[in-house]
């Protein structure tokens, strides 16, 4: 498609994609394919470099989303703060992500790739430095907010760039690498932090990451485009004012419900329910406003990707998969430590092989996707995931550790066969003008899916544990009963993935100009 400037519906407000200063894409060239592929079918070296820099950067920033979870008890002692206070280091990160991600569709339409990248990595590097030298808890909390602001921008930037530079026939292979960032980085974050905390002070969780972030920042500043034309789309202030309580309130309410059951059997506090109610009203108003603004191409988050069938089905599938993934990321370490008595290092080492296996399989699955499409990969993956979750629901206090490792490896294989086909199939049908908004919608609902999964599974686990304790079970038996019900819920969610996978088309490509 020819990319033109102007506010008319259907026209791009972004400048022509540019791989680097030495490999510009001419304004009349289709943005998705031709100039990124050399005659023998391989990607242009400049495109590989661009995507490589973004992959490394995205992996580093997404890793920090879960890296703090294991360190919270250590930080309670270091800063002499309560459990409720220290939880804000994780909650504030999620809240910031939920609020900023919806605005990335606008940022990617309004500014050049290099500008957005520099903003994302500059914020992340600044936040990481402040976190590493934080003299007090308040500074560390502010640093996490700054980190999250950069993290929120990076994932939509990566996916949008892949869609812009890689033709549909090759996207599965490249998206396989993207899925490493989406699924593996959050999964191994607690493992890496556990290893660091075993041998080094907590500050090294940030100080080790900082040089990598700075190298990526300077590499991107040199390699990414400096001459891409910026758009002229105005910023919708009312949309921002509605997005903050809408997306932020939803994640806050879900996180409070998911983390508020330690007392056993007590329902969510009134603040969480009020936050959810406000979020529903704000999101309804936000949606109506975007539907009106997108007619003039002025929406903060364009919702037209939902008019594409495969995008909507894949999005629902991804959200449900994130419910299972994040629920297990939370439940399994608690089971290993509270019931089986493993320390944080032992727990991290047990979960590490699964994360590595998922990363190793992702490029292979991407290449298979380019050959066979989504269904031959996703249906077996969803069946395997459901089988693993039902097996987890049969856990006992003496389940062999080797069997837990086998189940975690099988679960990692199932997610490898689900994630890459799901978001590749969902994003492929979108025209160029909707790439950035589709990536922003996908990233936003991933965050909401993770928060909902944590709230749902932890809430069910806690309620079941409390009920078993009241019925006279011992503390360990009550906990095991809670874990069983939590994993059974994840298994039921996984069954819906099988059904949804059957509705995906075998081949879904970007429409012609």
Q: What CATH number does the domain located at 31-501 have?
A: 1.20.1250.20
Total-model pTM: 0.77
Strand locations in 11-131 (E)? 18-20, 23-24
pLDDT at 260 exceeding the cut of 80: no
In sequence order, the 6+-apart residues with CB closer than 8 A to the CB of 380 are 417
pLDDT at 27 exceeding the cut of 60: no
Mean pLDDT of the chain: 80
CA-CA distance, 203 to 337, in Å (whole number)? Answer: 24
Mean pLDDT confidence for 121-133: 93
Mean pLDDT confidence for 421-431: 86
Range from 101-115, 226-240, 367-381, 460-474 that averages highest in pLDDT = 367-381
Residue pLDDT, tens place only, 148-198: 999 889 888 888 888 888 887 778 878 877 877 776 777 677 778 878 888
pLDDT for the residue numbered 41? 54
pLDDT at 331 exceeding the cut of 90: no
Q: How many Å from the N-terminal Cα to the C-terminal Cα in the chain?
A: 4
In percent, how much of the chain has pLDDT > 70?
85
Which of the two residues, 511 and 423, has the higher pLDDT score? 423
Mean pLDDT confidence for 294-321: 88
pLDDT at 220 exceeding the cut of 60: yes
pLDDT at 369 exceeding the cut of 70: yes
- CB 382 within 8 Å of CB 501: yes
CA-CA distance, 14 to 402, in Å (whole number)? Answer: 52
Helices H, strands E: what count in the chain? 19, 2
């Amino acid at each position: 498609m020819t990319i033109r400037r102007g506010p008319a519906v259907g026209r791009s407000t972004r400048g022509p994609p540019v791989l680097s200063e030495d490999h510009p894409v001419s304004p009349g060239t289709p943005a998705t394919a031709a100039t990124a592929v050399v005659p023998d079918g391989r990607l242009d070296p400049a495109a590989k470099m661009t995507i490589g820099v973004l992959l490394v950067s995205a992996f580093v920033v997404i890793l920090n989303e879960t890296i703090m979870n294991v360190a919270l008890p250590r930080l309670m002692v270091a800063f002499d703060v309560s459990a409720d206070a220290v939880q804000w280091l994780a909650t504030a990160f999620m809240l910031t992500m939920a609020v900023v991600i919806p605005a990335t569709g606008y940022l990617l339409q309004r500014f050049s790739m290099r500008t957005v990248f520099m903003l994302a990595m500059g914020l992340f590097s600044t936040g990481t430095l402040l976190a590493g030298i934080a003299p007090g808890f308040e500074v560390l909390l502010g640093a996490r907010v700054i980190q999250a602001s950069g993290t929120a921008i990076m994932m939509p930037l990566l996916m949008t760039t892949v869609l812009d530079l890689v033709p549909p026939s090759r996207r599965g292979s490249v998206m396989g690498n993207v899925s490493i960032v989406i699924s593996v980085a959050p999964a191994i974050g607690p493992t890496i932090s556990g290893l660091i905390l075993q041998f080094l002070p907590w500050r090294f969780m940030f100080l080790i990451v900082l040089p990598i972030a700075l190298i990526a920042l300077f590499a991107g500043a040199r390699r990414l485009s400096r001459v891409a034309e910026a758009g002229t789309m105005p910023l919708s202030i009312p949309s921002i004012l509605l997005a903050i309580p809408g997306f932020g309130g939803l994640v806050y309410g879900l996180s409070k419900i998911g983390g508020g059951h330690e007392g056993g059997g007590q329902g969510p506090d009134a603040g969480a329910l009020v936050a959810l109610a406000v979020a529903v009203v704000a999101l309804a108003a936000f949606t109506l406003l975007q539907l009106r603004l997108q007619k003039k191409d002025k929406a903060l988050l364009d919702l037209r990707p939902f008019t594409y069938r495969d995008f909507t089905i894949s999005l629902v599938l991804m959200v449900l998969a994130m419910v299972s993934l994040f629920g297990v990321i939370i439940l399994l370490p608690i089971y290993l430590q509270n019931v089986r008595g493993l320390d944080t290092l032992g727990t991290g080492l047990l979960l590490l092989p699964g994360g590595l296996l998922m990363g190793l399989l992702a490029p292979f699955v991407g290449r298979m996707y380019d050959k066979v499409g989504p269904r031959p990969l996703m249906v077996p993956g969803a069946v395997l995931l459901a089988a693993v979750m039902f097996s987890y629901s049969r856990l006992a206090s003496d389940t062999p550790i080797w069997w837990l490792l086998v189940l975690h490896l099988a679960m990692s294989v199932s997610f490898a066969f689900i994630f890459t086909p799901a978001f590749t199939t969902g994003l492929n049908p979108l025209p160029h003008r909707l790439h950035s908004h589709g990536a922003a919608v996908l990233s936003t609902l991933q965050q909401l899916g993770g928060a909902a999964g944590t709230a749902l599974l932890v809430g069910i686990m806690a309620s079941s544990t409390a009920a078993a304790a009241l019925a006279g079970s011992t503390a360990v038996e009550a906990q095991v009963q809670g874990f069983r019900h939590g994993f059974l819920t994840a298994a039921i969610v996984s069954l819906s993935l099988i059904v949804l996978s059957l509705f995906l088309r075998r081949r879904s490509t970007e429409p012609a100009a």
